[in-house]
Chains A and B, each alone.
Chain A
Amino acid sequence: MAYRMVCLMKQVPDTRNISADVLREDGTVNRQALPAVVNPDDLFALEMALDVKDKHGGEITVMSMGPPAAIEVLKDAMSRGADHAILLTDKKFAGADTLATSHVLESAIRKNGPFNLIFCGRQAIDGDTAQVGPQVAEKLDIPQVTFAEAIEFLDKNDIVIRRAIEGGFERIRGRIPLLVTVTNTAANPRPPSIKRKMFWKKAQTRSSVQSEEERVMLSKRGLLIPVWGLAEVGCAAEICGFAGSETWIKHIENVKLTAHEPKCFDTSETGIKELINELINEHII
């Protein structure tokens, strides 16, 4: 059986290695200076989908909600072997919390047609929240398996998944359609193929092309990535973006680090000995 799959992928600022040069004087981060990357867990989600495609056949549609720049995520996914990509972008989608995000993703998935499997990353590194996947599953009224590490069996109706639990794992059997969130302990993502990467490098959206000729040319080569806004997704404006968010930021406080002076010891053997002796005398060690 060929499976219809959707993989949800997010573009995130790379919060993993925040170097000193992106930090402002007051300790806040200059977001613009951070590279935008594909959310790491989402590559594991895509890999799991690609593996299903390799073993059983099927088609993978990748969707990402974000600003126009999120097209980069889709190009990356296409270079790794996804079949279709849709960029979900609209001013009305901006400022979304996870609930509002899940409304847009749910509508887009429904709009895209029947599906057997939906894949998400376990969590996005900009918030580590891990909420969007389960929220989408609930709205689609389908089951979910979170923290998935491997699909061990799959046929027309049934699926067996190994999922991580604290201190171990579970093998869980059930039915599709299903939404799966994938951890970074699953199979490693394959690299993009160089050939596909070169090809997809040129991809654009309709609004970013400069001329009609270019549009026709890109469209002919299949390099025009569809963009769905509010109208195409068909979801009510009041449940999207900032308007649809039920978590409101009351305020943001910049934590001032007090000019606190720890007791300093130097790195010489004598310095370290002093520290250890002080800890021993104070019964700390």
Chain B
Amino acid sequence: MENGVWVFIENDLGTIADVSLELLCKGRELADQLGCELGCFIIGHQVSDAASDLIAFGADMVCVADHAQLVHYLTLPYTRIAVELIKEYRPSIVLIGATHTGRDLAPRIASHMRTGLTADCTDLQIGEYKFGKKIWKELLWQIRPAFGGNVIATIVTPETRPQMATVREGVFRQPEADPARKGTVVDLNPTLTEQDLIFKIVERVKAEKKVNLKAARIIVAGGMGVGSKDNFQLVRELARVLGGEVGATRAAVDAGFVGHERQIGQTGVTVRPNLYIACGISGAIQHRAGMQESSRIIAINTDSSAPIFSVAHYGITGDLNEVIPRMIKAYKEKD
């Protein structure tokens, strides 16, 4: 099982996180291309049912660390178990979801292994890399927008293993289950030390309803052009009338117009709705990375040269304060 592709499977009381399944799907593709196996590891409590699902979803091997004290994520024991597995199976690639948990765990593992880690990749490929006279074959190309405008960087980790990357929810597609697939399940039966458990969760409050932007068929997103938190009501109203969800840019989130869970883009969620209405959004590459695969895109912007128009199917050059109320009116009048 050495040199495989491995995925960390995040779960909430046994329910596998979407992003982990998406990574399994991409991981399968990469493993097939490399001719190696796809492994994954899941840590939690009462997660054995999940193990067989993971095989159906593409894994060749599933390592399960089941323990009552591991029911929720804890940095120290999760890192220790992950590092021990990596040392034993020496995967070539380790992929982790860029969730709160993944962003706590991945850098900790990378630091321990003294290896590279690229955050929030928007694509992963296999390819070679030449530097001087040296050639590395079959490296993981970790692709992400780089700061500095319209630029995308391809990053590699030639010298150390594993090659590590985190990816946000929605970037890759979900795999289809094939119940006939075969694979091995390894029970790790972890024993925890006192050191592992110096931190304990004393209370955990999680709202049931999480915004699910990924599942929305229509998304109305607002950017800095909306102007203020109060004015964001316009965007909400259009979303409500059309039966869609509300999204936003990082800038709009930073400005406090809406909550962080609605951020769309490289460091937010990636969405592919039937209809995406971008209101007062310039269309920076980090934003486009999370919405450009929408089936139809409408851009409303006062600046006709804004980059958002280059990915839009329909464009309205104008003030959203005029355009949105007219859209609402026209839609209401149609019936």
Contact = CB atoms under 8 A, between A and B. Distances in A.
A in complex with B: yes
Interface of A: 13, 15-18, 23-24, 26-29, 31, 40, 97-99, 102, 126-139, 143-147, 160, 164-175, 245-260, 262-267, 269, 271-273, 275-280, 284-285
Contacts of A16: 251, 254
Chain B CB within 10 A, most for which of A27, A143, A247? A247
Nearest to B298: A275
Given A17-B251, A131-B119, A277-B334, A146 B104 contact: yes
B104 A144 contact: yes
B315 A262 contact: yes
Given A27-B149, A171-B203, A143 B75 contact: yes
A139 B201 CA distance: 24
Contacts of B312: 262
A128 B199 contact: no
B323 A272 contact: yes
A278 B331 CA distance: 11
12 contacts: A138-B108, A143-B76, A166-B210, A167-B210, A170-B72, A252-B153, A253-B154, A255-B285, A257-B310, A267-B319, A267-B322, A271-B316
Contact of B315 (A146, A172, A256, A264): A264
Contacts of A102: 111
Given A250-B129, A262-B315, A278-B314, 19 more contacts: A13-B147, A16-B251, A31-B148, A97-B116, A99-B110, A99-B111, A130-B103, A131-B107, A134-B111, A143-B198, A246-B159, A250-B153, A254-B150, A257-B310, A272-B330, A273-B330, A275-B316, A276-B334, A285-B218
Contacts of B209: 167
B119 A127 contact: yes
Contacts of B319: 267
A126 B129 CA distance: 26
Given A168-B206, A245-B116, A266-B318, A28 B159 contact: no
B107 A134 contact: yes
A137 B199 CA distance: 14
B184 to A, nearest CB: 30
Contacts of A98: 107, 117
B146 interface: yes
Contacts of B106: 131
B214 interface: no
B129 A99 contact: no
B103 A264 contact: no
Contacts of A128: 119-120, 266-267
Interface string B245-283: 000000100100000010000110000001100000000
Q: Interface on chain B toward A: helix, strand, loop, or mixed SS?
A: mixed
Q: How large is the interface on B (under 10, 10 to 19, 20 to 34, 35 or more residues)?
A: 35 or more
Interface in B291-328: 295-299, 307, 309-319, 322-323, 326-327
B160 A29 contact: no
A22 to B, nearest CB: 9
Contact of B147 (A127, A143, A264, A278): A127
B158 to A, nearest CB: 6
Which are the 9 A-B pairs with shortest beta-carbon distances? A174-B199, A27-B150, A246-B116, A267-B318, A247-B116, A262-B315, A168-B206, A28-B149, A138-B111
B151 interface: yes
Contacts of A15: 147
B108 A246 contact: no
A104 B29 CA distance: 37
B28 to A, nearest CB: 24
Contacts of A138: 79, 107-108, 111-112
A133 B210 CA distance: 27
Contact of A254 (B114, B131, B151, B242): B151
Nearest to A274: B330
Contacts of A126: 147
Contacts of B158: 248
B147 A248 contact: no
A266 B318 CA distance: 8
Contact of A130 (B76, B107, B261, B311): B107
A126 B144 CA distance: 13
B85 interface: no
Contacts of A272: 316, 323, 326-327, 329-330
B118 interface: yes
Nearest to A129: B119
A178 B328 CA distance: 52
